[in-house]
Amino acid sequence: MIRAGIIGATGYTGLELVRLIKRHPAVQLIFATSDSQSGQSLKRVFPSAPELTLISPDQAPLHEVDVVFLCLPHAASASMAQTVLNAGVRVIDLSADFRLRDEKVYQAWYEVPHPAPQLLKEAVYGLTEIFRKELRGARLVANPGCYPTSALLALQPALKAELFNGPIIIDAKSGVSGAGRKPSLTTHYVEVAGNLSPYNIGRVHRHLPEMEQAFSWWSSSPPTLIFSPHLIPAPRGLLSTIYIQLRSGWDERRVHELYQDIYPDEAFIEVLPAGQAATYAHVNYSNRCVIGITVAADTIILTSAIDNLLKGASGQALQNMNVIFELEETYGLL
Amino acid sequence: MIRAGIIGATGYTGLELVRLIKRHPAVQLIFATSDSQSGQSLKRVFPSAPELTLISPDQAPLHEVDVVFLCLPHAASASMAQTVLNAGVRVIDLSADFRLRDEKVYQAWYEVPHPAPQLLKEAVYGLTEIFRKELRGARLVANPGCYPTSALLALQPALKAELFNGPIIIDAKSGVSGAGRKPSLTTHYVEVAGNLSPYNIGRVHRHLPEMEQAFSWWSSSPPTLIFSPHLIPAPRGLLSTIYIQLRSGWDERRVHELYQDIYPDEAFIEVLPAGQAATYAHVNYSNRCVIGITVAADTIILTSAIDNLLKGASGQALQNMNVIFELEETYGLL
Amino acid sequence: MIRAGIIGATGYTGLELVRLIKRHPAVQLIFATSDSQSGQSLKRVFPSAPELTLISPDQAPLHEVDVVFLCLPHAASASMAQTVLNAGVRVIDLSADFRLRDEKVYQAWYEVPHPAPQLLKEAVYGLTEIFRKELRGARLVANPGCYPTSALLALQPALKAELFNGPIIIDAKSGVSGAGRKPSLTTHYVEVAGNLSPYNIGRVHRHLPEMEQAFSWWSSSPPTLIFSPHLIPAPRGLLSTIYIQLRSGWDERRVHELYQDIYPDEAFIEVLPAGQAATYAHVNYSNRCVIGITVAADTIILTSAIDNLLKGASGQALQNMNVIFELEETYGLL
Amino acid sequence: MIRAGIIGATGYTGLELVRLIKRHPAVQLIFATSDSQSGQSLKRVFPSAPELTLISPDQAPLHEVDVVFLCLPHAASASMAQTVLNAGVRVIDLSADFRLRDEKVYQAWYEVPHPAPQLLKEAVYGLTEIFRKELRGARLVANPGCYPTSALLALQPALKAELFNGPIIIDAKSGVSGAGRKPSLTTHYVEVAGNLSPYNIGRVHRHLPEMEQAFSWWSSSPPTLIFSPHLIPAPRGLLSTIYIQLRSGWDERRVHELYQDIYPDEAFIEVLPAGQAATYAHVNYSNRCVIGITVAADTIILTSAIDNLLKGASGQALQNMNVIFELEETYGLL
């Protein structure tokens, strides 16, 4: 039995983790913390949550657990990670703090010095299907962002095959839970319902350097990324529509051959038959990533869908936990 | 040409008023104020708003207008009303401050002493179709609450006919704009979408004394009210489903006869044929109130629908302005 | 291992059953049928469904299963039930065909003669928490309607205590999946989004006799029912707001005492602390029923929420299967 | 006073036209037809519609009107157009029948021979702001498709400036009313709510040749178009996110200069300040087109939003009518 703790349990990713862990037959939830609502039942925060009393983070019995999930804002997360590791406990961090390997890039995008640069080298980027080997036994996992998860699982084959010509364009669409639970005008029901908003489009969203970092791992001459997220009037779900110009020598048949065999035995990834497109309905409330491939006039259009709170956050975090502790990878996630 | 000002223009009722006035051929909008966003264009607040620079309330040129619409929180509104009246300008108040004629009742429900009790006697309750005569030339109008507007227009005939036996039950359903524009967890998109929540049910919602006050005007032995509002995952709309037990001597035929002739010439009220029920779709984006009547086993079921921001707030406010200034009542509202 | 079949798997209740059974550790899904889409993968029908080839109903290998779930329209279901029982296989029927014990009442409300009146006596009404004893080993279960499930679980204590005076009013609100998957203008996205519609209000909805039948089981002088369903712009969820006038001798304290102990050990029923109201958010995507109790001016207001597709249909069907076969009742449902 | 008729009034574009015309001070609606619902009140079809009795198309008093709006399916529309023109009445056709000037292209995409090829030469493409001169006095107007309206208004400057390099990519997102009112699984509320679906992506949607035709008018070496429409869980609204690679010699400053002056006096087009993106909220329930311009790494990202039923259909149709009859262009549309 693996004993787990959650630090920061009152956001959407925290709640999903509580639910997943409660249902996981081989994991026991030892504690869940909240800064502002310690002492209360999680039920007060979410009517659908299981019975569970939130404790203050500084009361967390770190020595009683094997792994801690961090669901904190960036910067806060990295400091806490060091504390948890010092207690000899593994860390799966759902914040952005350990995703970028270069602390200068981190500082440029997050506008604070990295709070624990000494840990950057050790952190494993938890895109499970691609870094499974590195994840086994890892002490510190950087759980990927929701947009990067959806885009990179679809793009990795294309990048490794270097089939692109010019920039790669990701037009992404996310449900509102991706914006977090803190009330704001942006997430007000009346402002969102019936609306659709591009935001941080071009080269300004913080998930851009995370994706370009992976591009540089997989391609010798990595493409420029144009990234346009859109807020969708739906509670959850994330779809990336990705446009790649084919370099000469590539055609529709070769593209489909490339993708056909790329994830043959993955329980959570499905590549659709040629011409079908991925939708939220393929993946919501599951840990799956579904990928569609269309080729038209020397352009590949990839559609890649995930549930932003599951494969895009808490589901993948639990999948990574399964890998770290060498459990069946799908355990508690089907 | 009537010259109008709006105090508190950055909420949903303020925005609707701006839109309505801009479209009204006989009204000119002279100013619109905002405490927190003065100096900015209203477009910054609402992408769909017309060009208009918000000013601070204390800069409002009261002497240049004929009427001021107050879209302020309760208590704040009553103080401002006196200031505006002192400038010789008429006031249409969209807050709750002048709806209750008894300052003790006000204090009991709003938990502050009434800020301008001297004005209570003069205020006209602006349920237009019923108090049209009193509204002509009025200096101070208390624009009714959204729930009371929907319920009272449907209930007045039943109350005057004294056809009820026992309590009256109003099960009401409101779109989210009724909760205002201030961000909160209650109005967070992810919390509302796919959800449905009763709130303040029984005898605790502040619109209850407003409705019971009208009951006492229209009935010699006014019924007790049970009032259950529900929050609906829709941006706007309001439906009251009302249950009345018939006293002996009343039957289905008599009820339909009573309602048949009740609003014969009203441009904004439609009584549906027997058995049809009112829906949001009948009324949204209009100033109309649509009323359905069903009788089953000695119970009347009234369904009464309005757009909460129009007939339930800003539309009725403009309708009242038309009456005050003896313009065609539907002017600018069709 | 229990072997199960589903007849009529391409509606919303069929899909939920497939999902639940696939996840249930002690049940194996042997077949799933479809009239119109046999030979196809269920994935073609629902992008999120597991891999499963639909077969024609007449090819269903009845002799290979222990239980069949019927997800057919009324009348079609009763005929099929007899066929399945003849094969020595138990039946859990999600249609209305075996809910009413009196074939004359059935004919009056469903406008066809009952296709298998000989089975009516044997059918057990599958409101699990209340008829658990009768369900053990049952051959034929009539799974309750969604509205009755929500209302009756909340009402049974009140009816048995005979605390009511006059009619009982149920103002119910259902998500759109309750209307089924067959396309119609009523379920068209543009007609539903932003709308809210009462329908079949008064004493005309087919779930009314089902509820009144239960009233007559539990009360010596059963109350009249007024029942007003409303269609809500949400995919799933069901809330009944129930109004009961208290007879003399009853007060708020006694009501809360009555309800306090009513479902002490039920895994799927939660009675909220006094004054809290049930919402869709308490129950959606779970098999739970959550009940709130408010008393105001001699009126009880019960709020009772379920997920219409789970506790209101497929979840309760699986719960009943667990009881029939004497498995842990919550198995596969937490 | 212009006298107008509508043929095919029971779809979403027909209803919008009825509403707009009823509100237009210089237009009188003489008739509105429906094949399937003639003899009924339009209110039976849409609860919010004005009082109006639908007639059968063959009873339409063509000689009593000055202009007819055709809201029919393609192919049906072209035949009717000839009939109306023969009666000496002007035609504004909201179908696709007269948008493509080459009947072979029409046949290739619509899979039927063009029913009235003799009229193709005369038809004016009703993208009002661009073909205003040709529209004055026109007998036959082809009202543009919703996607082309949004994309072409944003793209025209870029195409005329020939600033592009390689294909142009349009990632478009439409509300569900764009799919029409005929019930289908695609538009079923439960299938759409919480979902997001790409459809007909690549080079297969019928609006693609309409856009490429305009490209060929405005550019000497027209770009290839990649066009990916997505269905959004919203009743109305349309946003095109458009990606253009800049050819050498162009940079951010030049792009903004180009767009700055492009629509200086247009009442219905707004170009946003650099870096702001267009949203549904900018345009819904208005006849406006709002355009945002972002430049990043040699890529222009245009965002162009319209209300698909107004500027994308009925609003632009009325705008075109105003131009044809030399009325103030914004008349009845503000």
C268-280 exposure pattern, b = at least 16 Cβ within 10 A, e = fewer: bbbbbeeebbbbb
Residues 6+ apart with CB under 8 A from A198: A228, A229, A230, A231, D239, D241, D277, D278, D279, D292, D303
- Report percent pLDDT > 70 for chain B: 100
Please check whether residue C228 touches D, CB under 8 A: no
- In this prediction, residue B194 carries a pLDDT of 96
Please check whether residue B236 touches D, CB under 8 A: no
Please check whether residue A36 touches B, CB under 8 A: no
List, for residues A160-190, the tens digit of each pLDDT value: 999 999 999 999 999 999 999 999 999 999 9
Distance from CA of D176 to the nearest CA of C (A): 6
- Mutation for B interface: C171, C186, C196, C301, most B CBs within 10 A: C196
CA closest to D22 among chain B residues: B334
Chain A residues in contact with B191 (beta carbon < 8 A): 189
Residue A16 has pLDDT above 90, yes or no: yes
Q: If you write DSSP's letter for every residue of C111-133 in order, what string do you get?
A: SS--S-GGGTTT-EE--HHHHHH
What ipTM was predicted for this assembly?
0.97
Which tokens is A170 given?
């990701």
List, for residues B43-94, the tens digit of each pLDDT value: 888 888 888 899 999 999 999 999 999 999 999 999 999 999 999 999 999 9
Nearest Cβ partner of A23 from C281, C282, C334? C334
Binding-face residues of C in 164-203 toward D, CB within 8 A = 176-177, 181, 183-185, 187-194
Are B187 and A192 inside 8 Å of each other by CB? Answer: no
Distance from CA of C23 to the nearest CA of A (A): 7
Contact partners for chain D, using 3 or more CB pairs closer than 8 A, are A, B, C
Amino acid at B283: V
Radius of gyration of chain C (CA): 19
Contact indicator for A56, A38 with CB cutoff of 8 Å: yes
How far is Cα of residue B309 from the mean position of the Cα atoms in its chain? 8
Residue A49 has pLDDT above 90, yes or no: no
Q: Across the strands, what pairs with A279? A: none
Q: Can D71 be counted among the known catalytic residues?
A: no
Containing H/E element for D33? strand D27-33
Containing H/E element for B247? none
SS3 state at D3: strand
Contact indicator for B191, B185 with CB cutoff of 8 Å: yes
Nearest Cβ partner of A47 from C46, C193, C282? C282
* Reported pTM: 0.97
Mean pLDDT on A134-138: 97
Q: If you write DSSP's letter for every residue of A101-125 in order, what string do you get?
A: S-HHHHHHHHSS--S-GGGTTT-EE
Nearest Cβ partner of D277 from A199, A237, A296? A199
List, for residues B114-158, the tens digit of each pLDDT value: 999 999 999 999 999 999 999 999 999 999 999 999 999 999 999
Residue A94 has pLDDT above 90, yes or no: yes
CA closest to D188 among chain C residues: C188
Nearest Cβ partner of C12 from D181, D190, D193? D190
> How wide is the angle at C-alpha C278 spanned by C-alphas C274 and C284, nearest 5°?
150
Residue A275 has pLDDT above 90, yes or no: no
Chain B residues in contact with C243 (beta carbon < 8 A): 169, 171, 226, 243
In chain D, which residues have pLDDT < 50? none
Chain B residues in contact with D286 (beta carbon < 8 A): 48
Q: Output the tens digit of pLDDT for each of chain C's 334 residues.
A: 999 999 999 999 999 999 999 999 999 999 999 998 999 999 888 888 888 899 999 999 999 999 999 999 999 999 999 999 999 999 999 999 999 999 999 999 999 999 999 999 999 999 999 999 999 999 999 999 999 999 999 999 999 999 999 999 999 999 999 999 999 999 999 999 999 999 999 999 999 999 999 999 999 999 999 999 999 999 999 999 999 999 999 999 999 999 988 998 999 999 999 989 999 999 999 999 999 999 999 999 999 999 999 999 999 999 999 999 999 999 999 8
Mean pLDDT on A293-316: 98
Nearest Cβ partner of D303 from A195, A198, A235? A198
Which tokens is A295 given?
């080729």
- In this prediction, residue A261 carries a pLDDT of 84
Contact indicator for B303, B241 with CB cutoff of 8 Å: yes
Are B233 and A188 inside 8 Å of each other by CB? Answer: no
> How wide is the angle at C-alpha B331 spanned by C-alphas B326 and B334, nearest 5°?
150
- In this prediction, residue A208 carries a pLDDT of 98
Chain A residues in contact with C46 (beta carbon < 8 A): 281
Nearest alpha carbon to residue A291 among A251, A257, A241:
A241
Are D47 and B282 inside 8 Å of each other by CB? Answer: yes
C270 Ramachandran zone, left/alpha/beta (phi>0; psi -120 to 50): beta
Nearest alpha carbon to residue C245 among C294, C189, C297, C280:
C297
- In angstroms, rounded to a whole number, what is the distance separating the alpha carbons of residues B267 and B270? 8
List, for residues B206-243, the tens digit of each pLDDT value: 999 999 999 999 999 999 999 999 999 999 999 999 99
Amino acid at C70: L
What count of residues does chain B have?
334
| Placement of tokens 């004993």 in the chain | A3
CA closest to A22 among chain C residues: C334
Average pLDDT, chain A: 96
Active-site option among B130, B146, B169, B318: B146
Mean pLDDT on B35-40: 92
Q: Please count the residue pairs, one from chain C and one from chain D, whose beta carbons lie less than 8 angstroms apart.
A: 58
Distance from CA of A281 to the nearest CA of C (A): 6
